[in-house]
C-alpha cells in the first residue's frame, strides 16, 4: 500500500513523496530511494522496487527533488525553468531534509531511526553518498 505526501523544504519548495509499507514503519527498517538525473519517483522500475522491498519488511520512501523538472503531473518533464536552476547541493540538502523528516516522525512513529538505507540510481547514488 502506498501513501502520498507533499513536503515543504526549508527553502519553501514542494517535494512530492510516495511511501510504501506504512505497516513496516515502526519496525525501523527504512529505505529511501534517490532518483537520478532526469529521473523521478514514478519512473520505470522505481514503484516496483519500492513495492518489493515494502513486501519484505521495509518502509520505503520515494520522492521527486523539487527541481528535477517533473511537476504536478508527476510523470511529465514539464518544469524546465526549475530544472535549469537545479544544483547538486540543492539535491543533497533536500535529501538531508527528508532523512530528518523521517527521523522526526513526519511519516509516523518510528522505533529505530538508525536503520536507514539510501538507494541511489545513477546521479542519485552520488547524492546519497554526499548526504550520508
The pTM of this model reads 0.94
- Gap between the Cα atoms of 76 and 52, Å rounded: 25
- Gap between the Cα atoms of 16 and 62, Å rounded: 9
Give residue for cell 521495509.
58
pLDDT > 70: percent of the chain = 98
Q: How confident is the model at residue 1, as a pLDDT?
A: 84
What mean pLDDT comes out for the span 46-55? 97
Other CB atoms within 10 A of residue 114 CB: 8
pLDDT > 90: percent of the chain = 80
For CA atoms 80, 82, 87, 90, give the dihedral sign. negative
Q: Where do the domains of the chain lie, and which CATH numbers do they carry?
A: 2-131 (3.40.50.1820)
Q: What is the pLDDT of residues 71-125, one digit of tens each?
A: 888 888 889 999 999 999 999 999 999 999 999 999 998 876 668 999 999 999 9
- Gap between the Cα atoms of 23 and 75, Å rounded: 27
Contact 46, 33 (CB under 8 A): yes
What mean pLDDT comes out for the span 16-35? 93
- Gap between the Cα atoms of 24 and 57, Å rounded: 6
Q: How confident is the model at residue 92, as a pLDDT?
A: 98
Distances, alpha carbon 100 to alpha carbons 5, 44, 96, 122, 126, in Å: 15, 27, 6, 23, 19
- Gap between the Cα atoms of 87 and 102, Å rounded: 23
Helix (H) or strand (E) holding 21, with range, is none
Based on its alpha-carbon atoms, the radius of gyration of the chain, rounded to whole angstroms, reads: 14
Q: How confident is the model at residue 112, as a pLDDT?
A: 67
pLDDT > 90? residue 31? yes
Amino acid at each position: 500500500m502506498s501513501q502520498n505526501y507533499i513536503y515543504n523544504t526549508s527553502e519553501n519548495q514542494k517535494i512530492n513523496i510516495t511511501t510504501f509499507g506504512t505497516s513496516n514503519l515502526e519496525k525501523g527498517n527504512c529505505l529511501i530511494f534517490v532518483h537520478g538525473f532526469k529521473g523521478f519517483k514514478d519512473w520505470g522500475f522505481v514503484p516496483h522496487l519500492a513495492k518489493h522491498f515494502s513486501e519484505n519488511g521495509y518502509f520505503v520512501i520515494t520522492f521527486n527533488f523539487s527541481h528535477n523538472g517533473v511537476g504536478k503531473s508527476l510523470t511529465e518533464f514539464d518544469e524546465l525553468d526549475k530544472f535549469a536552476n537545479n544544483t547538486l547541493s540543492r539535491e543533497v540538502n533536500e535529501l538531508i531534509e527528508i532523512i530528518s523528516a523521517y527521523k522526526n516522525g513526519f511519516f509516523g512513529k518510528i522505533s529505530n531511526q538508525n536503520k536507514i538505507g539510501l538507494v541511489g540510481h545513477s546521479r542519485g547514488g552520488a547524492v546519497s553518498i554526499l548526504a550520508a
